[in-house]
Amino acid sequence: MQLEHFFEIAQNHFNDALPFVLYRKPNASVIKGLFQNDDTVYTTKNLTESGFVFAPFNNEERTVIIPIGQSELLEYQSIIPLQSGMRLEEKKESSQAKAFHINMVSKAIKAFEDNTFKKVVLSRKEDVNLIEENPLQLFKRLLSQYKTAFVYCWYHPKIGLWLGATPETLINVTGNRFTTMALAGTQKYESEDNPVWKAKETEEQQLVTDYLVNSLEASVNSLNVAKVETIKAGNLLHLRTKVSGILNSNLKTIVEVLHPTPAVCGLPKTVAKQFILENENYKREFYTGFLGELNIVEKITRNTNRRNVENSAYASVKKVSNLFVNLRCMQLTDVKASIYVGGGITKDSIPEKEWEETVDKTQTMKKVLF
């Protein structure tokens, strides 16, 4: 299939107001498209279906799925050339938005004095006026800019249009083996080979890692925790710890433990979530929710060396789920892009610095709009 034909199918689906998702997994060359054949809003409660799942931050709300059985799956394998971005009319951040965010962070820091929580993640939404309306052009630019992220364009006429390039895995499952990650701590990339991390970031990262390990122990076997590493995502650096093991329960049970993660909500999770719902001045919707492939049947091989003629003898068919946290994302309408950003707040946070961190994070999406 030619690239032009692949995107022509997506454009026709969009013009016909039919649901679809385009996506590419981290460090992959294959772009996949799942094109639903009607405009029904399909949902999942038990995560047993097969398709592409799109879940909101608030896990009490419905989780949407584009089912394999009601869709056509297409793939295109190629390198996407660098694309020019949409033109836009950028608005300066208002002093009211800055003041609100700083006051909200200050309120959270004060709550630490009462031992309300150990961490809370606070976010905001910034609107940018668009001149170019075609989301597929923006998706192409995300593909060319963010090779190591999960890049997607998701559309449902009854829900909305979302695009993003997220660096964070919620969970990857192949058969009964899983990997997940603790991703927390942020600083701007300044070309350092060995960046220095401050106590606030390292403590935040450790809180997330400890939560994952303690929460997963009852539901998994052979739990393995890797060393903390620094990763680059766009113009930002993060701390990451990979956690892996073998599941001894179903996927829904594990997802309920993980989502929303401390990296996007806080600790204790219930208290932090309530603080977010009561104090953020907007609804997150699908920002900091999760998305990705759910129970997709794939042929798994032990050795990927094609010259090995015995390779096929070790192949097996397994269900694979690749779910990601919906960070570095935006929601598009005909006239504007709503960019969502946030940051983890601990007792050592400085409100002005937390504001600046959200400003830095908006550049991931703005970079493809200019």
- Over residues 261-287, the pLDDT tens digits come to 888 999 999 999 999 999 999 999 999
Identify the three-state secondary structure at position 38.
coil
CATH H superfamily, domain 3-302+311-369: Anthranilate synthase (3.60.120.10)
**Residue boundaries of the structural domains of the chain:** 3-302+311-369
CB 122 within 8 Å of CB 342: yes
| Alpha-helical segments (H) within 29-94 | none
CA-CA distance, 238 to 234, in Å (whole number)?
Answer: 10
Helix (H) or strand (E) holding 325: strand 316-325
CB 216 within 8 Å of CB 202: no
Give the per-residue pLDDT at 88.
47
Highest-scoring range by mean pLDDT, 32-41, 76-85, 259-268 = 32-41
Q: What is the mean pLDDT of the chain?
A: 89
- Give pTM, 2 decimals: 0.88
State yes or no: pLDDT of 81 exceeds 70: no
Confidence of residue 64 (pLDDT cuts 50, 70, 90): very high
CB 363 within 8 Å of CB 121: no
Vertex 16: Cα angle to 327 and 335 (nearest 5): 50
**Residue with the larger pLDDT of the pair 358 and 116:** 358
CA-CA distance, 61 to 108, in Å (whole number)?
Answer: 25
Confidence of residue 304 (pLDDT cuts 50, 70, 90): low
Beta-carbon contacts of residue 283 (< 8 Å; ≥ 6 apart) = none
Confidence of residue 295 (pLDDT cuts 50, 70, 90): very high
Give the per-residue pLDDT at 370.
67
Helix (H) or strand (E) holding 331: strand 329-332
Beta-carbon contacts of residue 44 (< 8 Å; ≥ 6 apart) = 53, 63, 64, 65, 294
Identify the three-state secondary structure at position 357.
helix
